[in-house]
Amino acid sequence: MDWRWTGANDVANAFGTSVGAKTLTLRQAVVIAAIFEFTGAMVLGRVSTSTIAGGIADINSFLREPEMFAYGMVCALTISAIWNIGASYFELN
């Protein structure tokens, strides 16, 4: 069983080219990726959250039953995890 996690995140593509071409060592690539991924999440994370909160799921529709909203979010997270693991297992980018 080969668990390379291709397509699991966007950093994998940068690792493959940078480390494969011996431009960076694996340690350097991990440090650079950690810095920029964290910075990107902190700077642009609010934009993604606003899109999901305002453009995809209307929280006001769930004021009477907030547990249904939570259930929907858990279902979406579970399905996306299964899809990601399955795609990685079958090496689908």
Residue 91 · residue 6 · CB < 8 Å: yes
Residue-wise pLDDT for 33-91, tens only, equals: 888 878 877 887 777 667 766 667 777 888 899 899 889 889 988 998 898 888 878 87
- Rounded to an integer, what is the distance from CA 22 to the centroid of its chain? 26
Distance of CA 75 to the CA centre of its chain: 16
64/86 same-domain check: yes
Instruction: Specify whether 43 is located in the same domain as 65.
Output: no
Q: Which domain holds residue 88?
A: 58-92
Taking the C-alpha atoms of residue 43 and residue 37, their distance in angstroms, rounded to an integer, is 10
Are residue 66 and residue 49 in the same domain, yes or no?
no
Residue 18 shares a structural domain with residue 51: yes
Q: Are residues 85 and 65 in the same domain?
A: yes
66 & 23 share domain: no
Domain count, the chain: 2
Instruction: Mark whether 14 and 47 lie in a shared domain.
Output: yes
pLDDT surpasses 60 at 4:
no
